[in-house]
Amino acid sequence: MHLDELHDRKYRQVFEDTCRFVIQQKSSNPNFTLEDLEYLLDTAYMRAGNDWVGRGAVGDILNSAAIAAYEHMRAEWRKEQQRGTQKKI
């Protein structure tokens, strides 16, 4: 298997695992809020900017996938909120 394929596979795995984590938190933890998700996203962005230990290509892939997943889940959550607001009108 080519290195790029391994990187793509790892990216998809982390993206999917992170999305599942957020979904699980939303469904089982009533204290998990959109603000908590945004905190996780902010933390991932901070990690992306803190490369002082030289995490390398794999670390960059892991963090990029997590950021993409958090961004995706935040957008989905906001859509849900919009649909909920529109139904009440």
pLDDT digits (tens, 9 = 90+) for 49-76: 876 566 788 888 999 999 999 999 999 9
Report the alpha-carbon distance of residue 74 to residue 89 in Å, rounded.
23
- Residue of 58, 67, 62 whose CA lies nearest to 40: 67
- Residue of 68, 54, 56, 86 whose CA lies nearest to 19: 68
As a dihedral over the C-alpha atoms of residue 10, residue 50, residue 19, residue 33, rounded to 10 degrees, the angle is: 170
Q: How much is the pTM?
A: 0.86
Tell me, what's the pLDDT at 44?
94
Residue type, 36: D
